[in-house]
A and B are shown apart, each in its own frame.
Chain A
Amino acid sequence: MMEIERTIKYDADRVKGFGKEVMGVPGCEQLKSCIQCGTCSGVCPLSIYMDHTPRQVMALTRADFKREVLRSHTIWLCASCYACTVQCPREIRITDIMYELKQRAIQERFYPKRFPIPVLAREFSEMVRKNGRITEMLLVMKLFLKTSPLAAMGNWRMGLDLFKTGRFSLATEKIKGRKDLARMLDAVDAKKGA
């Protein structure tokens, strides 16, 4: 059976106020002036893998199509190379808008289970909060264990290379001011709650 999907969005699919909310975040204001020229999609080295191009994500976000945007692969494929941001003729900070959309997708769990990119963001932030620093090999191991243990086995050659070149280190890096750091991060949440 051929699976068909409606490609045109209806007004009923919108979540009113979503675009405005995103445009209210520091760094995302300029989205309102997008002229849909498509420069972002043209310069993006990853747009060939995306379901919605960056230009479409800009339009969908501004027009309140929250579910379409947060479910899109696009936000996760953005590698933070900033090519779109520096080329945009309207000075829209597209990379920062992608960060904002990732945040919302993580908060509202709009991603497939075991999808590695949000897992990486979560493991990364937990490690920073706990230790103040990232122990890279430990982070990579955690990521593989929580997403695809089999893929980790497939990368044995890399593990061997890293071991041979003295880069395979699991000794945890920690800072002295861990309590201070946790208090600082909590202060940001406290302000939001206030």
Chain B
Amino acid sequence: MKYSYFPGCSLKGLGRAYEESLLPVFKHLGVELEELDDWNCCGATAYMAVDEGKACVLAARNLALAQKSGHAQMLAPCAACYLVLNKAQHYLQDYPAMKTTVDRALGTAGLHFTGELSVRHPLDVLLNDVGLEAIKQKVCRPLSGLKVAPYYGCQMVRPYATFDDQYNPTTMDRLLEALGATVIRYPLKTKCCGGSLTGTVPEAGVRMVYILLNEARKRGADCLATVCPLCQFNLDAYHAPLAAQYGPIMVPTVYFTQLMGLAFGLEQQGLGLRRAAVPFRWRPGTAPGPQPTVQSPQAQVKA
């Protein structure tokens, strides 16, 4: 299994703990990731408010580079990158005029994109290519007793529910259960965290963070698990203004890949667990868990 890897700006910046945990976990599972050479910013949500043609060109340069490097599949862990790269593909397919604009722009740098590239989220690859059985086999320190609120946020499931349900996604729930964790019922799993409003209109943004954290606390969660660097940042970094307004809620928010690393018994120093402002101190017990008895979990690569 080999994929082009598109980290995006956040995974090199505020969300670096996502990359720090994702890379060793995927390596441990035998999935090969090749970082896309000279990738550029996907454009995120901000660029769509400037010019949708240029936003498409930004995304398309990455798609073209991935194809040029001989890949048919690209992994995009950040929910915003995942959405934007998929969105650009839709625009190119649905609007011939947009395709002409993008083709011409790519042509000025000698690039071309045929559309033969699928942009995948790590949860999709983990469940559908690697498989839960293969993942269970790697669990040597089950997360027994850890109560996790699975928080998917918006952009992984909306508007393109490519591999999970739009209203009640379950891929992360199933993954966390395979790691031995207790997945709590969390009806706000796809409610918006406020995105960049936490910084631009804090009276609205911080309240949205409060709603999410308060619900997780009420339901007894030890932590929230997230798939998006902006969600993680919002739920984690605004604890001081949130406490000033609503009282402290110190429920930590971790990346699902960090929980995987813990369950796999990987070196904890290397999982970025110290990056969180609200510390996540829970660690699995030392006793090895029961080894599942599954034979040859042949992972299938999607055609």
Interface set of A (CB-CB < 8 Å, partner B): 25-27, 45-46, 49, 76-77, 79-83, 85-86, 93, 95-96, 99-100, 102-103, 106, 116-118, 120-122, 124-125, 128, 132-137, 140, 143, 155, 157-158, 161-162, 165-167, 169, 173, 175-177, 180-181, 183-185, 187-188, 191-192
Report if B283 contacts A (CB, 8 A). no
Contact pick for A134, options B41, B45, B208, B274, CB 8 Å: B41
Contact B237 A173 (CB under 8 A): no
Decide yes or no whether B121 CB sits under 8 A from chain A. no
Interface of A is mostly: helix
Measured CA separation A86–B165 after assembly (Å):
12
Q: Is the CB of A184 within 8 A of B57?
A: yes
A158 contacts which of B9, B44, B101, B238 (Cβ < 8 Å)? B238
In the complex, the chain B residue whose C-beta lies closest to that of A98 is B49
Task: Please tell me if B54 contacts chain A, counting CB pairs below 8 Å.
Answer: yes
- How many residues of B are in contact with the other chain, CB < 8 A? 63
Q: Which listed residue, B16, B40, B97, B238, touches A175 by the CB 8 Å rule?
A: B40
Query: Which of B58, B101, B197, B208 has the most CB atoms of chain A within a 10 A radius of its CB?
Result: B197
Which residues of chain B are near A25, meaning CB under 8 Å?
52
CB < 8 Å: which of B53, B161, B195 contacts A188? B53
Contact partner of A166 (CB less than 8 A), chosen from B94, B199, B201, B275, is B275
Decide: A137 and B45 in contact? CB cutoff 8 A: no
Residues of B whose CB lies within 8 Å of any CB of A are: 9-10, 12-14, 16, 38-41, 43-54, 57-58, 61, 91, 94-95, 97-98, 101, 104-109, 154-155, 158-159, 161, 166, 191-192, 194-197, 199-201, 204-205, 208, 237-238, 240-241, 274-277
In the complex, residue of chain B having the shortest beta-carbon distance to the beta carbon of A115: B200
22 A-B residue pairings within 8 Å (CB atoms): A79-B196, A80-B155, A81-B195, A83-B158, A86-B158, A86-B159, A100-B52, A121-B50, A122-B50, A124-B44, A132-B40, A133-B40, A136-B9, A140-B199, A161-B237, A176-B38, A181-B40, A181-B58, A181-B109, A183-B109, A184-B105, A184-B106
